[in-house]
Protein backbone atom coordinates (compact mmCIF):
# COMPACT_ATOMS: atom_id res chain seq x y z
CA UNK A 1 0.00 0.00 0.00
CA UNK A 2 1.28 3.47 -0.90
CA UNK A 3 1.30 5.92 2.02
CA UNK A 4 3.08 8.79 0.24
CA UNK A 5 -0.19 10.76 0.11
CA UNK A 6 0.02 10.97 3.91
CA UNK A 7 3.41 12.70 3.75
CA UNK A 8 2.08 16.30 4.13
CA UNK A 9 -0.05 15.27 7.12
CA UNK A 10 2.82 13.42 8.75
CA UNK A 11 5.06 16.46 8.34
CA UNK A 12 2.27 18.64 9.76
CA UNK A 13 1.98 16.37 12.81
CA UNK A 14 5.77 16.32 13.16
CA UNK A 15 6.00 20.13 13.20
CA UNK A 16 2.95 20.44 15.50
CA UNK A 17 4.57 17.95 17.88
CA UNK A 18 7.79 19.98 17.77
CA UNK A 19 5.85 23.13 18.69
CA UNK A 20 4.26 21.37 21.68
CA UNK A 21 7.64 19.99 22.73
CA UNK A 22 9.27 23.42 22.56
CA UNK A 23 6.30 25.10 24.29
CA UNK A 24 6.51 22.69 27.22
CA UNK A 25 10.24 23.22 27.47
CA UNK A 26 9.73 26.97 27.26
CA UNK A 27 7.75 26.89 30.49
CA UNK A 28 10.52 25.00 32.27
CA UNK A 29 13.23 27.29 30.88
CA UNK A 30 11.30 30.38 32.01
CA UNK A 31 10.94 28.84 35.47
CA UNK A 32 14.64 27.95 35.60
CA UNK A 33 15.66 31.54 34.91
CA UNK A 34 12.94 32.96 37.21
CA UNK A 35 13.93 30.73 40.15
CA UNK A 36 17.42 32.15 40.04
CA UNK A 37 16.20 35.62 40.97
CA UNK A 38 13.50 34.54 43.40
CA UNK A 39 14.33 34.40 47.08
CA UNK A 40 10.83 33.90 48.45
CA UNK A 41 10.13 30.22 49.14
CA UNK A 42 6.36 30.80 48.90
CA UNK A 43 6.83 32.06 45.32
CA UNK A 44 9.34 29.36 44.36
CA UNK A 45 7.03 26.45 45.18
CA UNK A 46 4.37 27.29 42.57
CA UNK A 47 7.11 27.90 40.01
CA UNK A 48 8.56 24.39 40.37
CA UNK A 49 5.00 23.02 40.27
CA UNK A 50 4.37 24.96 37.04
CA UNK A 51 7.50 23.47 35.51
CA UNK A 52 6.47 19.96 36.54
CA UNK A 53 2.98 20.44 35.10
CA UNK A 54 4.45 21.43 31.71
CA UNK A 55 6.10 18.01 31.38
CA UNK A 56 2.88 16.44 30.08
CA UNK A 57 2.86 18.86 27.14
CA UNK A 58 6.60 18.35 26.63
CA UNK A 59 6.43 14.56 26.53
CA UNK A 60 3.17 14.51 24.56
CA UNK A 61 4.80 16.76 21.96
CA UNK A 62 7.91 14.57 21.97
CA UNK A 63 5.86 11.44 21.27
CA UNK A 64 3.89 13.08 18.45
CA UNK A 65 7.08 14.57 17.00
CA UNK A 66 9.03 11.32 17.23
CA UNK A 67 6.46 8.90 15.81
CA UNK A 68 5.19 11.21 13.08
CA UNK A 69 8.82 11.95 12.16
CA UNK A 70 9.58 8.23 11.88
CA UNK A 71 6.46 7.71 9.77
CA UNK A 72 7.31 10.71 7.56
CA UNK A 73 10.86 9.36 7.21
CA UNK A 74 9.52 6.01 6.06
CA UNK A 75 6.91 7.39 3.64
CA UNK A 76 9.40 9.93 2.29
CA UNK A 77 12.15 7.30 1.87
CA UNK A 78 14.54 9.43 3.96
CA UNK A 79 16.11 6.59 5.91
CA UNK A 80 18.64 6.06 3.14
CA UNK A 81 20.03 9.54 3.83
CA UNK A 82 22.48 10.46 6.56
CA UNK A 83 20.79 13.61 7.86
CA UNK A 84 17.83 11.70 9.35
CA UNK A 85 20.11 9.30 11.22
CA UNK A 86 22.22 12.16 12.58
CA UNK A 87 19.01 13.96 13.63
CA UNK A 88 17.75 10.89 15.50
CA UNK A 89 21.13 10.29 17.15
CA UNK A 90 21.36 13.94 18.17
CA UNK A 91 17.84 13.82 19.64
CA UNK A 92 18.82 10.79 21.73
CA UNK A 93 22.10 12.37 22.87
CA UNK A 94 20.49 15.69 23.82
CA UNK A 95 17.65 13.93 25.67
CA UNK A 96 20.16 11.72 27.48
CA UNK A 97 22.17 14.76 28.60
CA UNK A 98 19.22 17.06 29.35
CA UNK A 99 17.23 14.67 31.52
CA UNK A 100 19.73 14.45 34.38
CA UNK A 101 21.03 17.98 33.80
CA UNK A 102 17.76 19.90 33.98
CA UNK A 103 15.60 17.31 35.73
CA UNK A 104 18.24 16.69 38.36
CA UNK A 105 18.51 20.36 39.15
CA UNK A 106 14.74 20.78 39.49
CA UNK A 107 14.71 17.73 41.78
CA UNK A 108 17.42 19.27 44.00
CA UNK A 109 15.54 22.59 44.17
CA UNK A 110 12.27 20.82 44.95
CA UNK A 111 13.92 18.84 47.77
CA UNK A 112 15.58 21.98 49.11
CA UNK A 113 12.14 23.58 49.27
CA UNK A 114 10.88 20.58 51.29
CA UNK A 115 8.75 19.06 48.52
CA UNK A 116 8.54 15.42 47.62
CA UNK A 117 10.12 14.34 44.36
CA UNK A 118 9.21 11.67 41.82
CA UNK A 119 12.15 9.49 42.81
CA UNK A 120 10.98 9.17 46.43
CA UNK A 121 9.24 6.03 47.65
CA UNK A 122 5.80 6.40 49.28
CA UNK A 123 7.23 5.46 52.71
CA UNK A 124 10.11 7.96 52.51
CA UNK A 125 9.75 10.89 54.90
CA UNK A 126 9.15 14.33 53.44
CA UNK A 127 12.41 16.18 52.87
CA UNK A 128 13.28 18.88 55.37
CA UNK A 129 13.35 22.36 53.81
CA UNK A 130 16.79 23.92 53.65
CA UNK A 131 17.45 27.45 54.92
CA UNK A 132 16.48 30.21 52.47
CA UNK A 133 20.12 31.09 51.77
CA UNK A 134 20.94 27.53 50.71
CA UNK A 135 17.87 27.34 48.47
CA UNK A 136 18.79 30.67 46.87
CA UNK A 137 22.38 29.51 46.34
CA UNK A 138 21.17 26.29 44.73
CA UNK A 139 18.81 28.16 42.39
CA UNK A 140 21.42 30.82 41.58
CA UNK A 141 23.69 28.58 39.50
CA UNK A 142 24.34 28.94 35.79
CA UNK A 143 22.63 25.70 34.86
CA UNK A 144 19.76 27.47 32.98
CA UNK A 145 22.30 28.81 30.49
CA UNK A 146 23.95 25.40 30.16
CA UNK A 147 20.66 23.62 29.54
CA UNK A 148 19.51 26.33 27.12
CA UNK A 149 22.77 25.98 25.21
CA UNK A 150 22.66 22.16 25.09
CA UNK A 151 18.94 21.86 24.35
CA UNK A 152 18.62 24.92 22.15
CA UNK A 153 21.83 24.15 20.28
CA UNK A 154 20.71 20.58 19.64
CA UNK A 155 17.31 21.82 18.47
CA UNK A 156 18.86 24.30 16.02
CA UNK A 157 21.20 21.66 14.56
CA UNK A 158 18.32 19.17 14.16
CA UNK A 159 16.17 21.88 12.57
CA UNK A 160 19.00 22.73 10.15
CA UNK A 161 19.44 19.05 9.25
CA UNK A 162 15.72 18.63 8.53
CA UNK A 163 15.36 21.84 6.55
CA UNK A 164 18.45 21.54 4.36
CA UNK A 165 19.02 17.74 4.30
CA UNK A 166 22.74 18.28 3.62
CA UNK A 167 23.69 14.62 3.26
The 10s digit of each residue's pLDDT in 97-106 is: 998 888 888 9
Q: Average pLDDT of the chain?
A: 94
Q: Is the pLDDT of residue 166 over 90?
A: yes
Q: Is residue 150 within 8 Å of 98, Cβ to Cβ?
A: yes
pLDDT at 1: 78
pLDDT band at residue 149 using 50, 70 and 90 as cut-offs: very high
The total of other beta-carbon atoms located within 10 Å of residue 15's CB is: 16
What tens digit of pLDDT does each residue of 29-48 get?
Answer: 999 999 998 888 899 999 99
Does residue 81 surpass a pLDDT of 90? yes
pLDDT of residue 37: 86
Amino acid sequence: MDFTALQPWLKFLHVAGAFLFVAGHGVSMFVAFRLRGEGDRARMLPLVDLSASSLAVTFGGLLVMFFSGIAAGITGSYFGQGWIWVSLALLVVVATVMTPLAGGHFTRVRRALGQRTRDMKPNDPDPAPLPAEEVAALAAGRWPEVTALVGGGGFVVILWLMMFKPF
